């Protein structure tokens, strides 16, 4: 039987890329202490419903490690898939927002490092 994995909506912020660092780009978002809400730092310029920020099941700030995203949002889905159930991890965002970074990290070697974890999940958990 599939675990009680429900839909989770998370928001992962990638670290600044080389161009953003070189050109002195600013971080324009702030995160609450519960890591569930993200808000524009200059909230005086924001009006409407977004002035209070955006709330998710979990927010992953720029310094988040890949394994933290995996453990929270992917691990249970992988377990279910290995048990024969359907599962989906859906990454959505504009070009350059960090989808590939989140799914692949800086190198395919990160994914390969997770392979032993994937395999152990399928062996009786």
Answer yes or no: is 95 a known binding residue.
Answer: yes
| Alpha-carbon gap, residue 7 to 89, rounded angstroms | 10
User: Which alpha helices (DSSP H) does 11-74 contain, by range?
Assistant: 18-22, 66-69
Answer yes or no: is 98 a known binding residue.
Answer: yes
SS3 assignment, position 92: coil
| Alpha-carbon gap, residue 79 to 125, rounded angstroms | 8
Answer yes or no: is 99 a known binding residue.
Answer: yes
Answer yes or no: is 43 a known binding residue.
Answer: no
Answer yes or no: is 100 a known binding residue.
Answer: yes
Task: Select from 8, 21, 114 the least CA-distant residue to 65.
Answer: 114
Binding-site positions for ATP read 93-100
Binding-site positions read 93-100
């Amino acid at each position: 039987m599939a675990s009680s994995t429900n839909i989770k909506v998370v928001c992962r912020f990638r670290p600044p890329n080389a161009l953003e660092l070189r050109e002195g780009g600013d971080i324009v978002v702030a995160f609450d202490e519960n890591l569930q809400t993200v808000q524009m730092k200059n909230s005086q310029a924001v009006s409407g419903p977004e002035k209070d920020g955006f709330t998710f099941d979990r927010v992953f700030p720029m310094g988040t490690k890949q394994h933290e995203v995996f453990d929270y949002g992917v691990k249970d889905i992988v377990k279910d898939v290995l048990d024969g159930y359907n599962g989906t991890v859906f990454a959505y965002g504009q070009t350059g927002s960090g989808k590939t970074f989140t799914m692949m990290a800086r190198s395919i070697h990160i994914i390969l490092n997770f392979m032993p974890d994937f395999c152990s999940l399928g062996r009786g958990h």
